[in-house]
Structure 1
Amino acid sequence: MAVPSQQAAEVPPAAQRRRIGVPGLVFFVVAASAPLTVAAGGIPQSLGVTGVIGLPLLYLLITAVLALFSAGYAAMSRRITGAGAFYAYAAQGLGRVPGVGTAFVALLSYNAMQIGIAGLFGAVASDFVEARTGAEIPWWVLVFGCAALVGFLGYRRVDLSARVLAVLLAVEFATVLVFDIGQFAHAPHGVSAEPLTWSAAVHGPLGLTLCFVFAAFMGFESAALYSEECRDPRRTVARATYLAVALIGGFYAFTAWAMIVGAGTGEAGAMAGKYGADMMFVLGEHATGPAFSDIAQFFFLTSLLAALLSFHNAVARYIRSLGREAVLPVFLGAAHPRHGSPHRGSLVQTALTFAVVGAFALAGRDPVADLFTWLTNLGALGVILLLLVTSAAVVRFFAGGPGARGGAGAGAGAGDESVWNRLLAPLAAGIALAVIFSLGLTNFGAQLGVAPGNPLRWIFPGLVLVAAVLGLAWGVWLRAARPATYRGIGTAAAVEDDTVEGTEGDARAAA
């Protein structure tokens, strides 16, 4: 179905838009998961809070769950190519009203992740500058500078951002690999296989540990957001998603194992509780020399910058997709005439970052304990819900859901998808994600580090519900008040059958 002409936004030529191949897309996806940030922050936090040394096995377990999810996600990406991703998939699989509810949750979740990471960047950058120059620069000043840089890159061509991410990611991986090799080479009690055993994985608060582990993968699902800018969206998104999941999961498991044996399996939990995010730098300095700490802390900052750039691009593309279909103001749906970028969505996201960070700074809140911890956990919970909804949408879509009535779904090319991709894998992933989402809700207070009676324990999960309800209500209102807009929901993404190539589908959707 074509989007009504009054909703169509300017679409730059395909030659301008389709710049990203598999490597470039992997850069965006892996950058959002921030490997060095997880190594320096996520793994020590998980160890310090839970004491579970079976983290490597749990990283591999979550990798398997996400591989299941990716099977159905990749199948959808071969039929729906648009910057809306979760929103478009939900609209085509479950219906337009649930699609708008999904879009509102996505906007909340990705903005929360982006702005929360900005708080951590400000705190780390401020400490780094003060330790080396003696200059005391407020954390929010550095965040504003970083947000301006990220906004500039997000405003311009997407391949410029990909090149920046390629350099930053290469440095990240090299830094962590040096650390990993050093830990295995200087393990105080030798290299132990205990962290890879099931008994080590379940010895402790398994539910809480799974929540921490899953949060490390946030951003892995962002490949489909760039499908309109991929050279071959029917193949690129699927390949990039599978590759990113395997790369992220294997790398995190290997690094967690290295950190645990480097500290000693019996001492790793206590050391993580004592040093926190400095655990990696302390262990690295001991194994590879004092220069490692300075170098790794600097690249920790570039890791955060890469994550900020990746999430910024994701939010901008969601905003453009919703503007193009008039779910948000139509002017937000335009692409830049020269760069082909969602420049207006980029400007909106940058302005929102300035506003939220400014509010936290004026209130005197801590950039890590408050801004980073609160918002990234909120974002992670929302993304888990999005993955769960998308799994349901995949099953419904290929079974002849709402998208099938518009020409897609089981009647339009589902036959070339195996029963594994369109039913069994998304169904299994949905069950696993439902369990993880439930664990996330019940353990949310512990993730925030607040007492069980603290109202934040329910306020932040409540925001996800509020976003979903507002989105559903807005979808119902559009159905009654703006039927032309309502009919276009989820259709600016090209819905393709097995005889139509991606570029032809894009042209049809924009007609």
Structure 2
Amino acid sequence: MSAPTQTTGAPPDVTPSGTVGARALTGKLGPVAIVFMVVAAAAPLTVVGGAAPLGILLGNGVGFPALYALSGVILLCFSVGLAAMTREVPRPGAFFSFVGYGLGRRPGLAAAYLALLTYTTIQVSVYGYVGFILSGTMASLGLPVLPWWLWALVVAAVVGVLGYRHIDLSSKVLGVLLVGEVGIVLAVVAGVLVTGGAEGLSAAPFEPSTVMSGSPAIGLMFAIAAFIGFEATAIFRDEARDPERTIPRATYGAVIGIAIFYTLASWGLVMAWGPGHVVDVAAADPGAMIVTTTAKYLGTAGEVVVQVLLVTSMLACVLSFHNVITRYQHTMSNAGLLPSGVGAVHAKHLSPYASSLVQTATSVLLVGLFAVLGLDPVLQVFTWFAGVATLAIAILMAVTSLAVIVWFRRSRGRTRRWNTLVAPALGLLGLAVAAVAIVANFPLLVGDVDASGAQRFGLVSAVLLAVVVLCPLVGWVQATALRRRRPQTYARITDAIG
């Protein structure tokens, strides 16, 4: 293999074979492949089986399905601005690049660190959950009882191997797993439709009085959290077949598909048990609700299938987020913001293998730390860090919407008001409201309650909220230091190569 031309002054990387490899990622991913990867990150079956019952129980009860539709509208408005920015900024950094171009290099680097926090925390939270599920499942089969963290490390190893290889392999694996997840949920919904449900089919979940009952703000938190991952389409820009068309189509397809699927699936859950009983069923055992619902409408065979697919759903989720994180790190390395070696691209697999190894090591270290601290894999690892990710992504998307508005107001480029002002402004408003609601209810989201069950801003809430503030602050400080000491690197914050 001959050495390619070095790009924009970035240092070459040495591949394991000793040859010099290009630092730019390449590929021919189409919109469908990218949609598979980002929708897999949203973990459809895990959301329907875990988040939806909690949204029904802790949120607005029977009216929870409508909040998926509402979230879809808010995020679709956000996507319009994101797609417009994608055409203007031909960079793969997504939030990192867009905020940098719109609001400046320091906010851009702050956004990069907040994005890394978002995807790392959501990934490690799922490691806790999948470790718990696998531990219980294997024990039920009569196998030796192993701690959750050991199973989590096994999954991390599998993800590490797939992430080390070319992105096409991950997209194929994620595609197969996603089809299985969606298929079993749609089969349950079909069973509900055929039988007419427990109390007959109705539009009760979408009646205004029902939607506004209970705690809709808490319900909105769970609904927004279910979409985490769809916005990462832009990070695959360098590996897309035709970025100018592929990325916008993948973004719209992902958010619309997720919104329709979750709305339909959660409506099916409500109809399966009836508006008069669904909250009681969710309260009895929210984690097992999808399993018992499947058993009721598809029998024992369906119950076994859904239990297996719950595990593969979480595997798909962590693999997808692994791919996203490695590409953020790769882009930051090529901008001189992380060590140069992190940006290395494998000569054979054409993957950001060095970044993948770093991310695998990070996951292993965090799982090990949580094991040493004795954290509960569900009540603490999963709940706490999913809460952090939900707040961080709402802030990140709101800031990105603002960056889109500012960029197009300042530039003399595209000036279509709907794409560059109205839709981003609506997305900004909706996301800002969601972020405020999340902060106000953050103790409940992370389980920081007193003996009576009332939420309180205690030590757990304070520490986790501080992390959300400190991570972007690190990026801001780094950018400030670079501006003084390494102005050329500072300038590359908005000129990162892929």
TM bracket (short chain): over 0.9
Within the candidate set 300, 305, 314, 1:295 is matched to 305
Cα drift, residue 457 of structure 1:
1.9
Contact 2:332 2:338 in 1 (8 A): yes
3-state SS of paired residue (1:414): coil
3-state SS of paired residue (1:289): helix
Cα drift, residue 117 of structure 1:
0.7
| Pair 1:467-2:477 in alignment | no
Deviations 1:433-476 (A, max 9, x none): 11110001001111112211422122212211111111111110
Cα drift, residue 205 of structure 1:
0.9
| Pair 1:84-2:88 in alignment | no
| Pair 1:213-2:223 in alignment | yes
Contact 2:12 2:22 in 1 (8 A): no
**Could you tell me which amino acid in structure 1 is paired with residue 226 of structure 2?**
A
**Could you tell me which amino acid in structure 1 is paired with residue 44 of structure 2?**
P
Query: What is the root-mean-square deviation in Å for CA atoms of aligned residues?
Result: 1.7
| Whole-angstrom CA distance in 1 between matches of 2:457 and 2:45 | 34
Within the candidate set 146, 151, 157, 2:166 is matched to 157
| Whole-angstrom CA distance in 2 between matches of 1:315 and 1:465 | 19
Deviations 1:26-83 (A, max 9, x none): 0011001011001110101111223521112111111000110000000111122333
Partner of 1:32: 41
Within the candidate set 84, 106, 110, 1:101 is matched to 110
Deviations 1:253-273 (A, max 9, x none): 001110011111011111101
Within the candidate set 202, 206, 211, 2:212 is matched to 202
Cα drift, residue 196 of structure 1:
1.6
Deviates more, 1:304-313 or 1:484-493: 484-493
- Structure 1 residues 383 and 8, CA, compared in 2 at 3 Å: closer, same or farther? farther
Within the candidate set 424, 438, 441, 1:443 is matched to 441
Cα drift, residue 8 of structure 1:
6.7
Same amino acid, percent of matched pairs: 36
Cα drift, residue 425 of structure 1:
0.7
| Pair 1:22-2:31 in alignment | yes
Deviations 1:241-292 (A, max 9, x none): 1011111000000011100111110111111011111011112111221121
* Pairing of 1:300-311 with structure 2 (within 5 A): 300-311=310-321
Deviates more, 1:222-231 or 1:357-366: 357-366
Partner of 2:81: 72
Partner of 1:168: 177
* Pairing of 1:115-154 with structure 2 (within 5 A): 115-154=124-163
How many equivalent residue pairs? 480
Partner of 2:242: 232
Partner of 1:497: none
**Could you tell me which amino acid in structure 1 is paired with residue 494 of structure 2?**
G
Partner of 1:253: 263
**Could you tell me which amino acid in structure 2 is paired with residue 461 of structure 1?**
L
Partner of 1:425: 423
Cα drift, residue 148 of structure 1:
0.7
Partner of 2:482: 478
**Could you tell me which amino acid in structure 2 is paired with residue 53 of structure 1?**
V
Contact 1:83 1:320 in 2 (8 A): no
Contact 2:100 2:108 in 1 (8 A): yes
Contact 2:60 2:211 in 1 (8 A): no
| Whole-angstrom CA distance in 1 between matches of 2:7 and 2:350 | 20
Partner of 1:61: 70
| Whole-angstrom CA distance in 2 between matches of 1:83 and 1:148 | 26
| Whole-angstrom CA distance in 2 between matches of 1:300 and 1:318 | 27
**Could you tell me which amino acid in structure 2 is paired with residue 318 of structure 1?**
Y
* Unpaired segments ≥5 residues, structure 2: 1-5, 14-19, 450-455
**Could you tell me which amino acid in structure 1 is paired with residue 474 of structure 2?**
L
| Whole-angstrom CA distance in 2 between matches of 1:6 and 1:22 | 29
Partner of 2:414: 414
**Could you tell me which amino acid in structure 2 is paired with residue 364 of structure 1?**
G
Contact 2:119 2:325 in 1 (8 A): yes
Cα drift, residue 184 of structure 1:
2.9
Partner of 2:3: none
Deviations 1:79-113 (A, max 9, x none): 22333110011111111111111111111111111
**Could you tell me which amino acid in structure 2 is paired with residue 262 of structure 1?**
A
| Whole-angstrom CA distance in 2 between matches of 1:94 and 1:8 | 30
Contact 2:384 2:447 in 1 (8 A): no
Contact 1:183 1:284 in 2 (8 A): no
Cα drift, residue 4 of structure 1:
5.2
Moved over 6 A (4+): 8-11
3-state SS of paired residue (2:29): coil
Contact 2:65 2:267 in 1 (8 A): yes
Contact 1:8 1:324 in 2 (8 A): no
3-state SS of paired residue (1:175): helix
3-state SS of paired residue (1:57): helix
Deviations 1:279-310 (A, max 9, x none): 11112111221121111010000000000110
Contact 1:139 1:367 in 2 (8 A): yes
3-state SS of paired residue (2:493): coil
Contact 1:81 1:224 in 2 (8 A): no
Contact 1:68 1:428 in 2 (8 A): yes
- Structure 1 residues 348 and 255, CA, compared in 2 at 3 Å: closer, same or farther? same
